[in-house]
Structure 1
């Protein structure tokens, strides 16, 4: 379902860009690429910081965090169809 929503949004953008000139399309795709690079960068930095937090965490708290993460995943699996 999430992929279908993404495809719908991208189709909307391609329909908007379909009626424009070549330079406009190029600038739009460059902008989309730059935004994508920034998002990927911040996601990677976030994962690195998350791994550092897990690495420095006490065993007792790590077990509690992993238990809560498991409960969250089970709850999400029950909610999703």
Structure 2
């Protein structure tokens, strides 16, 4: 079900690329690739910082964070059918 929604959203982008000239589509793909590179960079930096924060965290706070994360996941599983 989630992949169908993603396909619908990405379908709008394919319409834009099919109706444009080849130079415009090349520039559009270059822009998308640059945005993806920046997103991957920020996600990896955030993951490294999160890992460092978990390693420096006291056991009491780590347990509290994991319990809150578990509650959030349970709530999401109830809300999202």
TM-score, normalised relative to structure 2: 0.92
The gaps in structure 1 that reach 5 residues or longer are: none
Match of 1:67 in 2: 67
Question: Match for residue 18 of structure 2?
Answer: 18
Q: 1:4, CA displacement in angstroms?
A: 2.5
Alignment partner of 1:35 is 2:38: no
Distance 2:3 2:51 in 1: 27
In the aligned structure 1, how far is the partner of 2:64 from the partner of 2:49?
A: 19
**Secondary structure of 2:64 counterpart:** helix
Deviation at 1:65, TM superposition (A): 0.6
Gap regions ≥5 residues in structure 2 = none
Aligned residues: 81
The 2-side partners of 1:45 and 1:6 are apart by 26
- Over aligned residues, Cα RMSD in angstroms? 1.1
Cα deviation code 1:1-42 (max 9, x no counterpart): 443232222110110121111111111011111101111111
